[in-house]
Structure 1
Amino acid sequence: MTTHATWTDSIENREQFWLEAAELIDWTKKPTRALAQHSETSWEWFPDGELNTCFNAVDRHVLAGNGNRTAVIYDSAMTGTQSRITYAELQDHVARFAGALRASGVQKGDRVLIYLPMIPEAIISMLACARIGAVHSVVFGGFAASELAVRINDAAPKVIVTTSGGLEPKRVVEYLPIVDRALHASTGTVTTVIVADRERIAGSAADYQGGEVEYLDWKEAEAKAEPVAPVPVEATHPAYILYTSGTTGNPKGIVRDTGGHAVALTRSMGSIYGIEPGDVFWSASDVGWVVGHSYIVYAPLLAGATTVIYEGKPVGTPDAGAFFRVVEEYGVKVLFTAPTALRSIRREDPELEYAGQCDISSLDALFLAGERLDTETYHWANDGLHCPVIDHWWQTETGWAIAANQRGTELLPTKPGSCTLPCPGVDLRILDAGGEEVTEPGAEGNIALKLPLPPGYLKTVWGAPERFHSSYLEEFPGYYSTGDSGYVDEDGYVFVTGRTDDVINVAGHRIAAGSIEESLVQHEAVAEAAVVGVRDNLKGHRAYGVVTLKHGFDVAAEGLERELIAHVRDTIGPVAAFKDVAIVSRLPKTRSGKVLRKTIRQILDGEDYKVPATIEDRSTLDEITALGPANPDIPHTQSVAVPIAV
């Protein structure tokens, strides 16, 4: 079937479509229904089914005679460590560590908080939770103690799984002191901390004995444990909790169900990414992000593929050729990363010389998500790598793509700036501010998804169903509000122009920050750009751009700024009233590569701001602060950064 026919079938014959998709996994009790719709805002997928995700991701491949197939490739650019784990070896590790969790009192429905860097233990512990029906919550390794304590209080875990520390290019982050401070600041539900030692980092479970919380060494606990068989759970049972930032400052615990999650991710590997059993799939993300959950751990293993867990950066570990080395060494078929990673490589290696030094012929496709893919970066990668570059769009809340060029179904012509067509089950609409549908092709509005949401999308917010409703369903009744703006063209292609709060209102004219960023990066010297709306006495708001330059460009800042302002006025028009642009060495970003636009705006407007716990490098904010207030004539609050040690 064509992409459009498949999508139509998923909407018009929803029950049959998803029951057929459910055949891709093994059930201990096969569902007889795909969807139980209780009300407009309440539904369940595969409500009478039972399964175990870990069995589907590990055991069934071993039982099918594929135990010797490589399940996990571990590559640490930080330590030089490289190793492979077969499906049979993974089964043994997971079953034993599940036994260690069971010995620590963890039962079905209990929560386990996982605080680990990009090491194999992260995958093993997540699967071990799924094996016994425990609900895991992965927190970014290196998160501050205060942020960790908030998540402990919310999820109320019985066990924390951690390690002695994580490695960054210029520093070592010791985890155990952070865990200790977080435990003292939390409400005390944790009974046990299991610690995986790392040779290059000091600290072990032995250093924290004698308190109310028991600290166990991972290897010792695993060696003593009895292997545990997979425990069947209801399809509606929570699979995990993953925290995303909330508008109130309190993170929201996104909850995914087990059955819909397993079915949707298994199907997506073939239909979207074109991955078959035995193929090598690499998601260059982190297990602390939703991409890591879905496409480092669960989806590749559910599909019987080989997944890569990489500890390193796209540049600097040691150079801009790191990604291409990994592709060559392991024969990666599909790479999934963020546009920011590509822009980092482009900044260091604009001619793709490192790529030319590696044999990357195994690479059939490069998928991108997480930030807007500007057309300049798209053309640079698409022309230079000689494989399809596919932009697709999704969110922490959705867990897999909202819209994509679906390689396994039908690779359609690419339109730079578009994530192509909605995925199966996604009934995407463009709504105006009043919630009325906008049907004119190219007319911009709020992107919303008609309920019910597809399998694998969020079910609720942990412990706060009212936040689920107020955050996502209240703005447009009958729809899930994505918080993004965009439009659909005459061919049905979806264009996401930015977050709705990134739209800048200049004297009554609504201008997408993304369109100005697109204009800025067209300049041959510019590597990356961020545009925010700052306060203005006359126009209410005005656009302010911050850019970084490609390496090797030695240009006078004042002259370049004039060129950039003139270029934006030529491409966007005088209505943009663009007159402010500054050059910095690096943009402030999260560890997943998202540019901290809100924080940039707050600094330039002189507002109080909180340093996000996910920031990659705090010093990047100092450069923004040094720019001074964007409008010194407007009274500002005292600008205070709330410090968070990361």
Structure 2
Amino acid sequence: MNTPTRTYANEHTYSLSDPTAFWAEQADRIPWYETPTQILTTDEEGLTRWYTDGVLNTCYAAVDYHADNGRADQNALIYDSPVTGIKQAFTYGQLRDEVARLAGALRSMGVEKGDTVVIYMPMIPETAFAMLACARLGAVHSVVFGGFAPHELAIRIDDAQPKVVLSASCGIEIDRVIPYKPLLDEALSLATHQPAHTLILQRPQCTATLQAGRDLDWQESVSQAEPAGCVPVKATDPLYILYTSGTTGKPKGIVRDNGGHAVSMVYSMVAVYDLKPGDVMFTASDFGWAVGHSYSVYAPLLRGCTSVILEGKPVRTPDAGTFWRIISDYKVDVLFTAPTAFRAIRKEDPEASLRHQYDLSTLRYVFVAGERCDPSTLNWLEQTTGVPVIDNWWQTETGWPIVANPVGIKLQEVKAGSATWPTAGYDLQILDEHGQQVGPTTTGYVCLKLPLPPGCLPTLWRDTPRFHSSYMSRFPGYYLSGDGGYVDDDGYVFIMGRVDDVINVAGHRLSTGEMEELVGSHTAVAECAVVGIACDLRGQRPIGFVVLKDGQTITPDQVEKELIALIRKQIGAIACFQQALTVKRLPKTRSGKILRKTIRQLADGEAFTLPPTIDDPAILDEIKASLQERHIGLAFA
């Protein structure tokens, strides 16, 4: 780059003062079909677009390019499944062939450039093949987490309107086989949009019944298909849609474009994760989440690394030493997961005795993201692994770290509770409610001054007005992250949590507003509130508070059981909705607004000032008594 010395300060300053020049240089790391000359532009809808005249294919850049340039025999993906006992490795050459045949099968079903494909599958190699096969054809994939219930899957099918849905006969959770096909069938019965076909991978643990004419067998279709080549696409063409919870029941379809995504993935591998071609990265995240997209599949492959994917949980698959075994077996350089995973491991093996059975000498860094890494977990992990534990903060919307320790430039001092400094391209500022920048150590809204760097969402799927209203309207000229936080005197960023009703359960963003709609639909419930409270294991978890209609004979225990079952059915077990307290009243302002934040602060043991508009402060004593009786919340557990 043009700066005389590669330091964090130089790189970050350069990226903000001359983003066009900085990101033009980063684009040189990508094999383009047509190298872009228009680096940063604004389209007719006022959207920031990167590399407008560039042409590429993400699958080619991630797979074929490496197979054709000396890495055909290097492992690209390693699959380790303690729940089935299966281990497989795929070289870049083998991965290219697998993906090309699957792309050919999709093409035979009519999938073309610009079509959408929904992928509802477990953590198996074929899921990664499916993502890459769509990219190969220029089709837009949307991976839906396999733990979501039919209702959630149906919403996403209706919004994405896929030509084909790819699924498997089952997923496996620890020792439990979960049939996927009945869930998919129910989702399609609920959905208005009907795909032309579904492609079903039959797994030996459970065989699915196929519907003639609509459902096709994966193995049979792929074996008969002619391999498909890579279709050139514009840098601004969408690569994938990834749905994330919003503050309403309808999820937001985050769009990721091809060019900016590829450039940002490779840059992050260099500057944030310090990985070179040939290195091994183990990212323990489901493909259905942003981390799984970025750092289980695309970033490692675009960088020419080896990616290890795990089917199973970090504990009881078969034991809490699974992570350490994988690091040892596959000579992992970098491990990346959510703090929740390590809290679960620590709970099972607090002295980390299993770690000492394995050789972790290749491990250089542990990265954590998705939720706040509490100091206790961070310190335990540092002592257990003997390597730096690096927090980094980002969102589904950005696709790569907003705040990180730039270890690829120079490792900085780690401060517990902070993800360190803003990454190149991100002009992070803390604003007050009037949009004015606040000083150090003052908490406010975490915002990003426009333009957002490459890789971030350019818009929402077929809903640019919602994109503007959700992210850009509160503070013109800024992207509103939805999180609150502050910057200390050394420039370290501290994220304090959401400022809306989206909570973070084990790294998964879920809407308490959507849960509230479901709770309120129960025939016995007069009014309700769902809030996210602190949880030692998952970071946050939802708790329901319900007021029953007069004259109800149903017991509070029965209401709770039915509400838990309802949330599980409509959203899925991933919501971790396990408690619903029946109360006589909910605390409100005199205008009728429920004081959800105050309830959360009460449960979490936080100090708070009673809002002057509260209608009856005594109601909080009743809420407190209910929490205390059930031992719910950090203040009463």
Q: TM-score, normalised by structure 1?
A: 0.81
The answer as to whether partners of 1:19 and 1:33 remain within 8 angstroms in 2 is no
Q: Secondary structure at the match of 2:111?
A: coil
- Letter of the 1:399 partner, please give it: G
Q: Secondary structure at the match of 1:242?
A: strand
State the partner residue of 2:513: none
State the partner residue of 2:486: 487
Paired with 2:252 and 2:532, the residues of 1 have a C-alpha distance of: 30
Please state if 1:611 is matched with 2:572: no
The answer as to whether partners of 1:445 and 1:486 remain within 8 angstroms in 2 is yes
- Letter of the 2:210 partner, please give it: Y
- Residue 217 of structure 1: how far off its partner (Å): 1.1
Distance 1:231 1:602, change over 3 A: farther
Q: Spell out, residue by residue over 1:247-302, the C-alpha distance to the aligned partner (whole angstroms, 9 max, x if none).
A: 11111110011100011001111111011111110110000000000000100000
- Letter of the 2:36 partner, please give it: P
Please state if 1:37 is matched with 2:42: yes
Paired with 1:39 and 1:188, the residues of 2 have a C-alpha distance of: 30
Paired with 2:314 and 2:381, the residues of 1 have a C-alpha distance of: 14
Q: Secondary structure at the match of 1:325?
A: helix
- Residue 484 of structure 1: how far off its partner (Å): 0.7
Please state if 1:322 is matched with 2:284: no
Q: Secondary structure at the match of 2:24?
A: helix
- Residue 141 of structure 1: how far off its partner (Å): 1.3
Alignment match of 2:13 (pick from 3, 8, 13): 8
- Letter of the 1:478 partner, please give it: G
State the partner residue of 1:96: 101
Q: Spell out, residue by residue over 1:213-248, the C-alpha distance to the aligned partner (whole angstroms, 9 max, x if none).
A: 521111111111111110010000001000001211
Equivalent residues in 2 for 1:38-437 (5 A)?
38=43, 41-203=46-208, 207-210=209-212, 214-437=214-437
Distance 1:624 1:322, change over 3 A: farther
The answer as to whether partners of 2:583 and 2:623 remain within 8 angstroms in 1 is no
State the partner residue of 1:457: 456
- Residue 166 of structure 1: how far off its partner (Å): 0.3
Structure 1 stretch displaced more, 50-59 or 320-329: 320-329
- Letter of the 2:540 partner, please give it: V
- Residue 187 of structure 1: how far off its partner (Å): 1.9
Q: Spell out, residue by residue over 1:101-155, the C-alpha distance to the aligned partner (whole angstroms, 9 max, x if none).
A: 0000001000000010000000000000000100000001132111111111100
The answer as to whether partners of 1:71 and 1:305 remain within 8 angstroms in 2 is yes
Q: Secondary structure at the match of 2:275?
A: coil
- Residue 368 of structure 1: how far off its partner (Å): 0.4
Q: Secondary structure at the match of 2:543?
A: helix
The answer as to whether partners of 1:41 and 1:452 remain within 8 angstroms in 2 is no
- Letter of the 2:422 partner, please give it: P
Paired with 1:628 and 1:362, the residues of 2 have a C-alpha distance of: 58
Q: Secondary structure at the match of 1:65?
A: coil
- Letter of the 1:25 partner, please give it: I
Q: Spell out, residue by residue over 1:69-101, the C-alpha distance to the aligned partner (whole angstroms, 9 max, x if none).
A: 000000001101001001000000101110100
Paired with 1:634 and 1:121, the residues of 2 have a C-alpha distance of: 52
The answer as to whether partners of 1:41 and 1:478 remain within 8 angstroms in 2 is no
- Residue 363 of structure 1: how far off its partner (Å): 0.8
State the partner residue of 1:563: none
- Residue 188 of structure 1: how far off its partner (Å): 3.4
Structure 1: gaps spanning 5 or more residues: 504-512, 515-540, 549-586, 588-592, 637-646
After superposition, the CA RMSD in angstroms is: 2.7
Paired with 1:289 and 1:87, the residues of 2 have a C-alpha distance of: 24
Q: Spell out, residue by residue over 1:331-376, the C-alpha distance to the aligned partner (whole angstroms, 9 max, x if none).
A: 1110000011111111122211111221111110000001111111
Paired with 1:350 and 1:291, the residues of 2 have a C-alpha distance of: 26
Distance 1:602 1:107, change over 3 A: farther
- Letter of the 1:271 partner, please give it: A
Distance 1:11 1:546, change over 3 A: closer
- Letter of the 2:230 partner, please give it: P
Number of residues of Structure 1 aligned to a counterpart in Structure 2? 548
Paired with 2:291 and 2:119, the residues of 1 have a C-alpha distance of: 16
Paired with 1:215 and 1:302, the residues of 2 have a C-alpha distance of: 33
Alignment match of 2:543 (pick from 600, 603, 616): 600
Distance 1:187 1:436, change over 3 A: same
State the partner residue of 2:526: none
- Residue 621 of structure 1: how far off its partner (Å): 3.9
Distance 1:615 1:183, change over 3 A: closer
Distance 1:352 1:614, change over 3 A: farther
- Letter of the 2:71 partner, please give it: N
Q: Spell out, residue by residue over 1:54-79, the C-alpha distance to the aligned partner (whole angstroms, 9 max, x if none).
A: 00000000110210000000000110
Distance 1:247 1:129, change over 3 A: same
- Aligned-pair identity in percent equals 50
Paired with 1:337 and 1:628, the residues of 2 have a C-alpha distance of: 41
State the partner residue of 2:607: none
The answer as to whether partners of 1:370 and 1:594 remain within 8 angstroms in 2 is no
Distance 1:492 1:197, change over 3 A: same
Distance 1:602 1:478, change over 3 A: farther
- Letter of the 1:308 partner, please give it: V
Structure 2: gaps spanning 5 or more residues: 1-5, 505-528, 549-555, 586-598, 600-618, 625-637
State the partner residue of 1:443: 442
The answer as to whether partners of 1:40 and 1:478 remain within 8 angstroms in 2 is no
Paired with 1:41 and 1:594, the residues of 2 have a C-alpha distance of: 37
Structure 1 stretch displaced more, 486-495 or 115-124: 486-495
- Letter of the 2:206 partner, please give it: I
Paired with 1:131 and 1:267, the residues of 2 have a C-alpha distance of: 22
The answer as to whether partners of 2:417 and 2:494 remain within 8 angstroms in 1 is yes
State the partner residue of 1:500: 499
Q: Spell out, residue by residue over 1:531-563, the C-alpha distance to the aligned partner (whole angstroms, 9 max, x if none).
A: xxxxxxxxxx9x997666xxxxxxxxxxxxxxx
Q: Secondary structure at the match of 2:429?
A: strand
Q: Secondary structure at the match of 2:426?
A: coil
Paired with 2:100 and 2:175, the residues of 1 have a C-alpha distance of: 36
State the partner residue of 2:508: none
The answer as to whether partners of 2:331 and 2:363 remain within 8 angstroms in 1 is yes
Distance 1:595 1:614, change over 3 A: farther
Distance 1:483 1:497, change over 3 A: same
- Residue 624 of structure 1: how far off its partner (Å): 6.0
- Residue 633 of structure 1: how far off its partner (Å): 6.8
Paired with 1:165 and 1:90, the residues of 2 have a C-alpha distance of: 23
Distance 1:63 1:467, change over 3 A: same
- Letter of the 1:441 partner, please give it: P
Paired with 1:121 and 1:89, the residues of 2 have a C-alpha distance of: 13
- Residue 614 of structure 1: how far off its partner (Å): 5.8
Paired with 1:627 and 1:398, the residues of 2 have a C-alpha distance of: 40
The answer as to whether partners of 1:129 and 1:135 remain within 8 angstroms in 2 is yes
Q: Secondary structure at the match of 2:540?
A: coil
The answer as to whether partners of 1:604 and 1:624 remain within 8 angstroms in 2 is no
The answer as to whether partners of 1:40 and 1:451 remain within 8 angstroms in 2 is no
Q: Secondary structure at the match of 2:285?
A: coil
The answer as to whether partners of 2:147 and 2:573 remain within 8 angstroms in 1 is no
Q: Secondary structure at the match of 1:24?
A: coil
Equivalent residues in 2 for 1:519-598 (5 A)?
595-596=540-541
Paired with 1:614 and 1:266, the residues of 2 have a C-alpha distance of: 34
